[in-house]
Structure 1
Amino acid sequence: MDGPQAHWLQDGKRLHLNHGPIDLIVEAFGEVQECRLAYEQAVARFQTILIELVKELPELRLPAFFLAPRAFDGPTARRMEAAVIPLAECFITPMAAVAGSVADEMIAALLAGRKLDRAYVNNGGDCALHIGKGQSMGLAVAGTGPDIADRITIRSSDNVRGVATSGWRGRSFSLGIADAVTVLARTGAEADAAATLIANAVNLPGNPAIKRTPACELSPDSDLGARLVTQSVGTLALGEVARALDNGLAVAEDFRRRGLIAAAALFLGGETRISGSMALAAPNKSPGKEVAHA
């Protein structure tokens, strides 16, 4: 595996950081000198973040236990554990929050001692945001249907600094059949973990149209072990789509009532369910900078 790579994209405005499975797009807005220093800080922090995670990977692949956090050494690992502990009534490992936690750690490095108007770190669609007072940021949302705009706006007053998307078509394995579940939360790690579990809950156990395979057969080191992960979803009846989405919506509503997420949008088979009444539920009439195709 090559070491950490950093280069500018063709537009000269966005920084691309890559190391193994971590692939980030970083952009900062503000005074030129502040942005330059912020980018330098991000590049410096990126040099060791994967190495730190690999050292603690065996423990990070083990289930978390409700109200019993483990003492990890690295800050990213600690973010992962903290994000999943409130959700650990059911099976979840810190790996459910890895992409969002990396984004959070990197935006913290970007902001340390700096004065920026806005910034984001996009880790494959799982994003950490910085939105200064009076500022806003626009995002593109994939999988949208007739009930939701494909652009959303996050304002500084929204208490949302993390956006994540999960589903069976994504980069990671899913126990459910959601085409996509996009979550807004306080941090990228919290959004990532919650999106994983909501997407798992969009499900029709035992339905013959769904092909599932033990995760360990696809990836021997998977934290999901022998749990069945979705490989394909055939034609579903209209009522089945609605039932699967309602299963996921019940989980999203529970998370929102508990203050774990701000909003969620669930997509399957052209249908949509929305939990929350903020940005995801309304058209974006004053778009800011597009951040991610989540």
Structure 2
Amino acid sequence: MEAPSARWLPDGRRLHLHHGPIDLIVEAFGRPDQISAAYAQAVRRFQTVLAELVDELPDLRRPSSLQGSRAFRGPTARRMEAATTPLAENFITPMAAVAGSVADEVMAAMISGRLLDRAYVNNGGDIALHLASGQELTLAIAGTGHGFADRIVVRADEQVRGVATSGWRGRSFSLGIADAVTVLARIGAEADAAATIIANAVDLPGHPAVQRQPAREIAPDSDLGGIPVTVGVGTLTAEEIAEALERGLSVAEDLRRRELIIAAALFLAGDARVAGDILPALTNETETSLAESSRVMPRGSVLAHRSFPA
């Protein structure tokens, strides 16, 4: 496998860390000396993250259990297991939290001993945040519609430090039909695992318009094995869309009551449901649209979704 790489993006302020399947975009705000030191710490920690995960990959692909967490050696693997164990009444493996856990791990290294105003580690749409007292970040999210703002504000006093998005159109497999489910949680690992579970629940079991295929037929080494995953969704009626969203919303509200998430936004075929409070960002007419925001974002903003097709 190629060695880990670190390079500056063209704007000269965001750092791109890449190793195998891991792609991180990292940005910090604060005093220049603190930012430089934070970036150096992130790069150092990133060097061995993937190798540590590969060493424990067979066990990370085995289902989590409500009976308790397993004793993984690596800190990122332990984050993954801790995030998925409370959700193990459903089928879930630690791999459901891998992207968020990697973001959390690099963020923890980045802020250790540092005084930063704000920072984020974006792992393909699964994001760890750092906000000092009084700080905030604006996030752009996917799937917006029906009056839902395309940006939200995360403020320091709200305890949101993790954001993740899941859905059948994303880079990972989904058992459900959600175009996107974005979750706000206390850490990235918890947001990642919960987004997976909620997106799986947005579903119409047995519906003829939903195409499914065993995961192993698409990716032979998938942790989902022979479980059917969604590969296509045809035309649905308004009533069917509402039914699928309500299924997911019920799960999201349960996770919120259990304090496993802070809020969630669920999107399917132009309709949406929200669990908890998600504060809309203030916008003005000169700002870019969501379609443009993946290329041009206001300073202090972060794109909180993967690239979902229209």
The verdict on a shared fold, with TM-score over 0.5 as the criterion, is yes
Residue 288 (structure 1) shift: 6.8
Which residue of structure 2 lines up, in the alignment, with residue 184 of structure 1?
184
Once residues 277 and 6 of structure 1 are traced to their aligned partners in structure 2, the CA distance between those partners, rounded to angstroms, is 36
Which residue of structure 2 lines up, in the alignment, with residue 65 of structure 1?
65
Once residues 218 and 267 of structure 1 are traced to their aligned partners in structure 2, the CA distance between those partners, rounded to angstroms, is 25
* TM-superposition CA deviations, 1:143-199 (whole Å, max 9, x none): 111231101000000010000000000010000000000000000000000000000
Once residues 273 and 126 of structure 2 are traced to their aligned partners in structure 1, the CA distance between those partners, rounded to angstroms, is 20
AA aligned to 2:145 is: G
Residue 67 (structure 1) shift: 3.7
**Secondary structure of 1:104's aligned partner:** helix
* Structure 1 unaligned blocks of 5 or more: none
* Aligned residues of 1:147 and 1:272 also touching (Cα < 8 A): no
AA aligned to 1:289 is: G
Which residue of structure 2 lines up, in the alignment, with residue 172 of structure 1?
172
Which residue of structure 1 lines up, in the alignment, with residue 281 of structure 2?
284
* Aligned residues of 1:42 and 1:106 also touching (Cα < 8 A): yes
Identity of paired residues, percent? 67
* Aligned residues of 1:136 and 1:288 also touching (Cα < 8 A): no
AA aligned to 1:138 is: T
Aligned length: 291
Once residues 180 and 223 of structure 2 are traced to their aligned partners in structure 1, the CA distance between those partners, rounded to angstroms, is 21
* Aligned residues of 1:163 and 1:188 also touching (Cα < 8 A): yes
Q: Determine whether 1:78 maps to 2:78.
A: yes
- The 5 A counterparts of 1:202-221 are 202-221=202-221
**Secondary structure of 1:117's aligned partner:** strand
4+ residue runs over 6 A deviation: none
Which residue of structure 2 lines up, in the alignment, with residue 270 of structure 1?
270
* Structure 2 unaligned blocks of 5 or more: 284-297, 306-310
Which residue of structure 2 lines up, in the alignment, with residue 24 of structure 1?
24
Which residue of structure 1 lines up, in the alignment, with residue 238 of structure 2?
238
Once residues 117 and 48 of structure 1 are traced to their aligned partners in structure 2, the CA distance between those partners, rounded to angstroms, is 27
**Secondary structure of 2:39's aligned partner:** helix
AA aligned to 2:40 is: E
Once residues 255 and 193 of structure 2 are traced to their aligned partners in structure 1, the CA distance between those partners, rounded to angstroms, is 11
AA aligned to 2:169 is: R
Once residues 153 and 141 of structure 1 are traced to their aligned partners in structure 2, the CA distance between those partners, rounded to angstroms, is 11
* Aligned residues of 1:137 and 1:288 also touching (Cα < 8 A): no
Residue 237 (structure 1) shift: 1.0
Once residues 288 and 159 of structure 1 are traced to their aligned partners in structure 2, the CA distance between those partners, rounded to angstroms, is 22
Residue 38 (structure 1) shift: 0.5
Once residues 269 and 30 of structure 2 are traced to their aligned partners in structure 1, the CA distance between those partners, rounded to angstroms, is 41
Which residue of structure 1 lines up, in the alignment, with residue 88 of structure 2?
88
AA aligned to 1:291 is: V
Once residues 146 and 171 of structure 1 are traced to their aligned partners in structure 2, the CA distance between those partners, rounded to angstroms, is 25
* Aligned residues of 1:153 and 1:288 also touching (Cα < 8 A): no
Once residues 147 and 73 of structure 2 are traced to their aligned partners in structure 1, the CA distance between those partners, rounded to angstroms, is 44
Once residues 23 and 213 of structure 1 are traced to their aligned partners in structure 2, the CA distance between those partners, rounded to angstroms, is 27
Once residues 138 and 7 of structure 1 are traced to their aligned partners in structure 2, the CA distance between those partners, rounded to angstroms, is 24
User: Over the residues paired in the alignment, what is the CA RMSD in angstroms?
Assistant: 1.0
Once residues 19 and 148 of structure 1 are traced to their aligned partners in structure 2, the CA distance between those partners, rounded to angstroms, is 35
Once residues 217 and 289 of structure 1 are traced to their aligned partners in structure 2, the CA distance between those partners, rounded to angstroms, is 41
AA aligned to 2:79 is: R
Q: Determine whether 1:120 maps to 2:120.
A: yes
TM-score (norm 2): 0.92
Once residues 12 and 262 of structure 1 are traced to their aligned partners in structure 2, the CA distance between those partners, rounded to angstroms, is 33
* Aligned residues of 1:138 and 1:288 also touching (Cα < 8 A): no
Once residues 139 and 36 of structure 1 are traced to their aligned partners in structure 2, the CA distance between those partners, rounded to angstroms, is 24
Which residue of structure 1 lines up, in the alignment, with residue 14 of structure 2?
14
Once residues 102 and 272 of structure 2 are traced to their aligned partners in structure 1, the CA distance between those partners, rounded to angstroms, is 29
AA aligned to 2:281 is: N
* Aligned residues of 1:256 and 1:276 also touching (Cα < 8 A): yes
Once residues 96 and 29 of structure 1 are traced to their aligned partners in structure 2, the CA distance between those partners, rounded to angstroms, is 30
Of stretches 141-150 and 226-235 in structure 1, the one that deviates more from structure 2 is 141-150
Which residue of structure 1 lines up, in the alignment, with residue 140 of structure 2?
140
AA aligned to 1:30 is: G
